């Protein structure tokens, strides 16, 4: 065995020496004729074709029916695959939580999967798994959602499970006790996360007593909530006129309506829940709030202002303007703060859709020592989006990104159903998505700049920074008055506004203790 291996290696060495000898004999140069042949064999490199204009997309028809109790049923036929997605939407979310029990709707949503009056949560999960289906429940500011995904052949059975979970939850005291322990643990961990603290503080200050100002529950509310509170909220809001159903997949609209009537038609009709909104604050000047976390090596920055309702006709031009500013890794904020200045791993901005007025927010996490520079960079770009229209190339790229990524939102029945949920939540017309890409392409640089001036307002923005205040808080006076608080909200210091005043070359100095 050893000899054969040696003989193989030796033969390879001989061949290698012969090859080297041949190369040395002609100086290692390839014959001219061979060069010419290789040159002719190489294909000519061509540039890729320019992208064509994006085509409008017509979504499948939404078949609408109404049950005897007022619950609306929306069906989209998408029969490419034998699957069906069903989402039951209750038009009440965090905005409907009682003042003393923030997060109640979220607790209700989590408890829906923990058992019904007929069977335990484990039994429900077992049947869902047996059917090869998925079941989920969640909530946000506007709605509470219960959804299923299954093969079409299992449609009737999963509709029965969906109706059972949504309509007859047990709200078991034992399961509630487990949930409360999990929630208290989650909140304790969240309190250690600077991003969580920044987001919570930002929305609380931005919206004041408006329901959108509460982004989560709190330990006191979790400890206080009782089974009766969950049952009462469920009884008031899970009614026919306050809910709608969206189905998408390989289904027949008439059969869907019949199944919905059979499983959900027994709900009480009730009435549409209309929450009462407190008027949010309307600041006329900029303010900077620093949440002090001694020992932090990073600062989390949130800044923004109240902007626009989702149904506003200027929503799409504003989304285009935001895409230029900070909507992706190719936008101004990211390319400057990360790629050029190396201040952060990522800087972005966003417009959030709400039934009532939604926020514009820009955000990043930066090293503590560059907090001042990073905030200045944010304001440079917020001012720039006011002062000059987008460059032709960046406007084209922004619109192409928004338009060309839209097909990814309609490539499955589940995503189609999400678009219908958005239509119904925000009161948009049924043909809204058909003209969505066209509206993006029609947005001009001047129109994007106009809406940016109206809805992105750096001069009266709120700034929240979570970090080690001693390292940067006082230096932020150049951008406006600064208030420093503890994570619990206790006032620690105030610093006056040092921005130059109109008609004055001086500035006020010194902290207010």
User: What's the mean pLDDT in 97-112?
Assistant: 97
Which domains are present in the chain?
Answer: 62-264 (3.30.830.10), 287-498+507-512 (3.30.830.10)
List strands edge to edge, sheet with 358-367. 344-351, 358-367, 298-308, 462-467, 287-292, 482-485, 491-495, 511-512
Q: Are 199 and 216 in contact (CB under 8 A)?
A: no
Q: Compute the average pLDDT of residues 368-374.
A: 97
164-217 confidence digits (pLDDT tens): 999 999 999 999 999 999 999 999 999 999 999 999 999 999 999 999 999 999
pLDDT, average across residues 425-449: 96
Nearest to 309 by CA among 347, 270, 352: 352
pLDDT, mean of residues 389-396: 96
Specify the pLDDT at position 52. 66
C-alpha distances out from residue 202 to 113, 213, 214, Å: 32, 8, 10
Across the beta sheet with 72-77, the strand order is 62-66, 72-77, 243-249, 83-90, 144-151, 134-139
Q: Give the number of other Cβ atoms within 10 Å of residue 442's Cβ.
A: 13
Answer yes or no: is pLDDT of 36 > 90.
Answer: no
**Confidence (pLDDT) at 312:** 97
Using the 8-state DSSP alphabet, how is residue 279 labeled?
P
Mean pLDDT of 305-333: 97
Q: Average pLDDT of 244-253?
A: 97
Beta bridge partners of 246: 74, 87
Pick the residue with more confidence: 36 or 83? 83
Distance separating alpha carbons of residues 49 and 390, to the nearest angstrom: 25
pLDDT of 492 higher than 90: yes
Using only C-alpha atoms, the chain has a radius of gyration, in whole angstroms, of 30
Instruction: Check residue 494 and give its pLDDT.
Output: 96
Q: Show the DSSP H helices in 135-252 as ranges.
A: 155-167, 173-190, 194-207, 219-224, 227-237
Query: How large is the average pLDDT for residues 418-422?
Result: 97
**pLDDT > 70: what percent of the chain?**
88
**149 beta partners:** 85, 134
Mean pLDDT within 62-85: 96
pLDDT at 465: 98
Summarize the confidence of residues 34-40 as an average pLDDT: 55
CA–CA gap between residue 416 and residue 345 (Å, rounded): 33
> Within 10 Å of residue 299's Cβ, how many Cβ atoms?
29
Q: What is the pLDDT of residue 40?
A: 56
Mean predicted confidence (pLDDT) in 254-264: 97
pLDDT higher than threshold 70 for residue 332:
yes
Residue 89's alpha-carbon distances to 11, 35, 391, 422, 429, in angstroms, are 76, 70, 42, 11, 18
Model confidence at 316: pLDDT above 60: yes
Give me the chain's average pLDDT, please.
90
The answer to whether 253 touches 77, Cβ cutoff 8 Å, is yes
Q: Cβ–Cβ contacts within 10 Å for residue 316, how many?
A: 22
pLDDT beyond 50 at 5: no
pLDDT of 56 higher than 80: no
How far apart CA 370 and CA 336 sit, in angstroms, is 14
**Sign of the four-CA dihedral 149, 154, 155, 159:** negative
Give yes or no for residue 14 having a pLDDT over 80: no
pLDDT at 512 over 50: no
Coil, strand or helix at 151: strand
Q: What is the reported pLDDT for 35? A: 53
Residue 63 has, within 13 A of its CA and on its CB side, a CA count of 14
In this predicted structure, the answer to whether residue 508 has a pLDDT above a threshold of 60 is no
Cβ(355)–Cβ(425) below 8 Å:
yes
CA dist 448 and 461 (Å) reads 20
Whether 226 has a pLDDT exceeding 90, the answer reads yes
Rounded Cα gap, residues 492 and 292, in angstroms? 9
State if pTM tops 0.75: yes
């Amino acid at each position: 065995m050893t000899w054969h291996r040696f003989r193989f290696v030796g033969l390879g060495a001989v061949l290698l020496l012969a090859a080297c000898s041949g190369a040395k004999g002609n100086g290692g140069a390839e014959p001219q004729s061979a060069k010419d042949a290789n040159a002719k064999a190489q294909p000519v490199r061509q540039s890729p074709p320019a992208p064509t204009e994006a085509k409008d997309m017509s979504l499948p028809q939404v078949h609408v029916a109404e049950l005897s109790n007022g619950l609306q049923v929306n069906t989209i036929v998408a029969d490419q695959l034998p699957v069906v997605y069903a989402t039951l939407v209750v038009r009440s979310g965090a905005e409907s939580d009682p003042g003393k029990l923030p997060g109640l709707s979220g607790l209700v949503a989590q408890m829906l999967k923990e058992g019904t009056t007929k069977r335990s949560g484990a039994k429900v999960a077992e049947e869902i798994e047996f059917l090869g289906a998925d079941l989920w429940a969640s909530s946000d500011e506007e709605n509470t959602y219960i959804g299923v995904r299954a093969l079409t052949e299992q449609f009737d059975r999963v509709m029965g499970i969906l109706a059972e979970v949504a309509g007859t939850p047990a709200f078991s005291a034992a399961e509630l006790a487990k949930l409360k322990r999990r929630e208290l643990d989650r909140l304790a961990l969240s309190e250690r996360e600077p991003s969580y603290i920044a987001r919570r503080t930002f929305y609380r200050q931005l919206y004041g007593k408006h329901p959108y100002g509460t982004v989560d529950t709190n330990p006191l509310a979790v400890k206080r909530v009782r089974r009766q509170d969950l049952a009462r909220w469920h009884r008031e809001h899970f009614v026919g006129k306050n809910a709608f159903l969206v189905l998408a997949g390989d289904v027949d609209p008439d059969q869907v309506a019949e199944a919905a009537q059979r499983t959900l038609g027994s709900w009480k009709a009730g009435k549409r829940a209309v929450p009462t909104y407190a008027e949010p604050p309307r600041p006329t000047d900029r303010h900077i709030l620093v949440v002090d976390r001694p020992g932090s090596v990073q600062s989390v920055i949130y800044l923004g202002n109240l902007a626009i309702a989702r149904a506003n006709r200027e929503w799409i031009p504003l989304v285009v303007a935001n895409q230029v500013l900070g909507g992706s890794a190719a936008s101004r904020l990211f390319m400057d703060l990360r790629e050029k200045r190396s201040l952060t791993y990522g800087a972005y901005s966003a417009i959030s859709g709400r039934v009532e007025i939604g926020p514009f927010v820009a955000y990043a996490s930066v090293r503590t020592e560059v907090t001042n520079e990073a905030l200045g960079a944010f304001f440079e770009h917020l001012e720039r989006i006011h002062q000059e229209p987008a460059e032709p190339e960046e406007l084209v790229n922004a619109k192409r990104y928004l338009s060309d990524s839209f097909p990814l939102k309609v490539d499955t029945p589940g995503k189609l159903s999400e678009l219908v949920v958005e239509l119904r939540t925000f009161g948009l017309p049924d043909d809204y998505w058909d003209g969505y890409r066209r509206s993006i392409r029609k947005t001009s640089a001047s129109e994007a700049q106009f809406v940016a001036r109206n809805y992105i307002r750096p001069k009266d923005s709120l700034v929240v920074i979570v970090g080690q205040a001693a390292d940067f808080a006082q230096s932020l006076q150049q951008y406006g008055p600064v208030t420093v608080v503890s994570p619990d909200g206790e006032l620690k210091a105030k610093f006056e506004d040092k921005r130059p005043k109109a008609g004055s070359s001086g500035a006020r100095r010194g902290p207010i203790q």
